[in-house]
Amino acid sequence: MVTKAPAEIQSAPSPWYNSGVTRVLMISPEAAPLAKTGGLADVVGALPAALREFGCETAVVIPRYGSIPLKDARRVYDHLPVYLGKAGFDIAIYQAPAEYPLYLVECPRLFDRPGLYGEAGVDYPDNDVRFAVFARAALGVARHLFRPGILHCHDWQAGLVPAYLRTTLAGDPTFMGVKKLFTIHNLGYQGLFPASALQEAALDETIFNPGGLEFFGQVSYIKGGISFADALSTVSPTYAREIQTPEYGCGLDGALRTRAAMLTGILNGADYREWSPENDPLIPAPYSAQDLSGKRIAKQQLLAELGFPAEAIDRPLLGMVSRFTQQKGVDILAEVAGEIIAEDVYLVALGSGEPEYEESFRAMAERFPGRVAVRIGFDNRLSHLIEAGADLFLMPSRYEPCGLSQIYSLRYGTVPVVRATGGLDDTIDEGTGFKFQEYSGAALLGAVRAAIQAFSNRDEWHARMLRGMQKDFSWKASAQEYAALYGRLLGRA
Ligand code: ADP
Ligand code: GLC
């Protein structure tokens, strides 16, 4: 049984808050490799190590989902009680092996389930309670295991942290002077619940108003972050501007404009330890800008796995790896799939998500057998093989806060075709990829045709691949910006 704080905290020789070190606790629903549905996991998995260089000691707390094995984890705290009104939850905290302290909130009744947020496209009905308990348990980690100067909260699942600190826990000496940064990775996911969530999550009714948690009569967890954090950030400069407009604001543009002075856009980085063709164990042969022969081997293997003919090696192979949701442009792709295939090209798509879009991809594969291959599911190995084996990478997103896959594609010499929105616009230029503006099948088709045309000129194509491979989106620059923002919040700059 472990109920005491570990020695590191009990006997801290000099107070960390005087040491010049910034202690950051990231509160996130995902962290790669343990819990991942999308790019948020990649960000939280990589940023802590990158922050070290800039004087930050970072820990991360995520829920212990059913898919996370506990066999290698250490139980570091027993019986952390969380009460939401009368409902009590007995929590244990585990620490998983990672290059930074990675805490897991163990509450089997809430989190030991097959999905992270739901199953078969349907959200768990008690997500309000799950992420209220998670927020409170994460604050327990901050109290007992890792005392931070900064609480860095990610997405709606951590949105109640600033809300509880403003209400239920206001005046608690543990959190005096602790600053809250809330990062929006995707405004399309807001954690909206019926007003009854107020009681279920034991939220103070005084903040149920439009300047607090209320969103048109519902409880909005993302507004907990937007209204009550000390600073807001999102994951690209362009998205930071876009979300303040009605077109991209998902109904929150007004609230965001009110807080515009504390909203910044910091571009995500890529973890090149995971995503480099020079040393990627998930592809058949390494390759680099100096020697691209391994890329051809990856394409051969991919074509064979997908059941495409060997002659396809000389034709463009278009790849897509994505959550299949309305964000990702599946509808405009389906609209022009016939015209694209008529260009004598091949298409592979890997992803999962909303049944409607999965179905749309299945229908494409049935309509164009031998030309379109679709794999429904989450498959890390195949995602790397597609990054390496494809010639073009499609991201026709309706909106894209940052997007990581296009950044990985650049490094693998796989030329991105993207809609000019959010981080796609910030990371891809005319020299490295193909961009289109209007959200329409016609505009996407125009960009794909331009890319296919360019592919036929081998020298030009090769030069374009190399320009992309030489781009550097490593975490260093972004980590420096986060560290500077933490410093400003703590009044150090
Ligand atoms: P988002 O976070 O909106 O899903 P990003 O481009 O930021 O978009 O990040 C997507 C990440 O998730 C990438 O690492 C990508 O490889 C991965 N990914 C998405 N879908 C799948 C899938 N079906 N199988 C494996 N990896 C996937
Ligand atoms: C979100 C966004 C994506 C971004 C990722 C990580 O899921 O959709 O654009 O790259 O978060 O910040």
Locate the domains of the chain by residue range: 3-269+476-489, 293-472
The predicted pLDDT at position 485 comes to 98
**Ligand 1 pocket residue status of 383, Cβ below 6 Å:** yes
CA-to-CA separations, 305 to 29, 310, 348, 389, in angstroms, rounded? 33, 11, 11, 11
Question: Between 250 and 121, where is the model more confident?
Answer: 250
Distance CA 428, CA 434 (A): 8
Calculate mean pLDDT across residues 6-29: 67
Residue-wise pLDDT tens digits, 47-96 = 999 999 999 999 999 999 999 999 999 999 999 999 999 999 999 999 99
- DSSP H or E segment with residue 123: strand 122-123
Q: Is 283 helix (H, G, I), strand (E, B) or coil?
A: coil
Question: Between 8 and 286, where is the model more confident?
Answer: 286
Contact assessment for residue 116 and residue 35, using Cβ atoms and an 8 Å cutoff: yes
The predicted pLDDT at position 492 comes to 85
Q: Which ligand is nearest to the CA of 402?
A: 2
Instruction: Indicate whether 12 pLDDT > 50.
Output: no
Number of Cβ atoms within 10 Å of the Cβ of 341: 17
Instruction: Indicate whether 2 pLDDT > 60.
Output: no
Q: Is 180 helix (H, G, I), strand (E, B) or coil?
A: strand
Residue-wise pLDDT tens digits, 374-415 = 999 999 999 999 999 999 999 999 999 999 999 999 999 999
Please, which pLDDT band fits residue 121 given cuts at 50, 70 and 90? confident
Distance CA 335, CA 438 (A): 14
Q: Which atom of ligand 1 is nearest to the CA of 401?
A: 3
The predicted pLDDT at position 19 comes to 63
Query: In Å, how far from its chain's centre is CA 465?
Result: 26
- DSSP H or E segment with residue 434: strand 434-436
Q: Which atom of ligand 2 is nearest to the CA of 422?
A: 9
Residue-wise pLDDT tens digits, 310-353 = 999 999 999 999 999 999 999 999 999 999 999 999 999 999 99
How confident is the prediction for the chain on average, in pLDDT?
Answer: 95
Q: What CATH architecture is 293-472?
A: 3-Layer(aba) Sandwich (3.40)
The predicted pLDDT at position 120 comes to 82
Instruction: Indicate whether 434 pLDDT > 60.
Output: yes
Distance CA 465, CA 461 (A): 6
The predicted pLDDT at position 18 comes to 52
Please, which pLDDT band fits residue 493 given cuts at 50, 70 and 90? low
**Ligand 1 pocket residue status of 379, Cβ below 6 Å:** yes
| Beta pairing partners, 220 | 192
- pTM here is 0.95
Please, which pLDDT band fits residue 231 given cuts at 50, 70 and 90? very high
What is 356-416 written as a DSSP string?
A: HHHHHHHHHHHHSTTTEEEEES--HHHHHHHHHH-SEEEE--S--SS-SHHHHHHHTT-EE
b (16+ CB within 10 A) / e for 65-86: beebeeeebeebbeebebebee
Report cis status (omega within 30 of 0) of the bond before 237: no
Distance CA 236, CA 400 (A): 9
Residue-wise pLDDT tens digits, 150-187 = 999 999 999 999 999 999 999 999 999 999 999 999 99
- Substitution candidate for ligand 1 out of 354, 404, 412 with most atoms within 8 A of CB: 404
Please, which pLDDT band fits residue 4 given cuts at 50, 70 and 90? very low
Question: What percent of the chain lies above the pLDDT cut of 90?
Answer: 95
Instruction: Indicate whether 467 pLDDT > 90.
Output: yes
Contact assessment for residue 130 and residue 158, using Cβ atoms and an 8 Å cutoff: no
Distance CA 214, CA 204 (A): 12
Please, which pLDDT band fits residue 10 given cuts at 50, 70 and 90? very low
**Short-list 291, 126, 117, 297, CA closest to 197:** 126
The predicted pLDDT at position 137 comes to 98
Instruction: Indicate whether 11 pLDDT > 60.
Output: no
Calculate mean pLDDT across residues 217-233: 98
- CATH match of 3-269+476-489 with 2.40.50.140: no
User: What would the two tokens of residue 335 be?
Assistant: 């609209």
- Substitution candidate for ligand 2 out of 40, 328, 419 with most atoms within 8 A of CB: 40
Calculate mean pLDDT across residues 121-139: 97
| Beta pairing partners, 89 | 82
Distance CA 31, CA 60 (A): 8
Contact assessment for residue 67 and residue 118, using Cβ atoms and an 8 Å cutoff: no
**Short-list 344, 294, 292, CA closest to 461:** 292
User: What would the two tokens of residue 333 be?
Assistant: 């792709």
Instruction: Indicate whether 20 pLDDT > 90.
Output: no
3-269+476-489 and 293-472 share one fold: yes
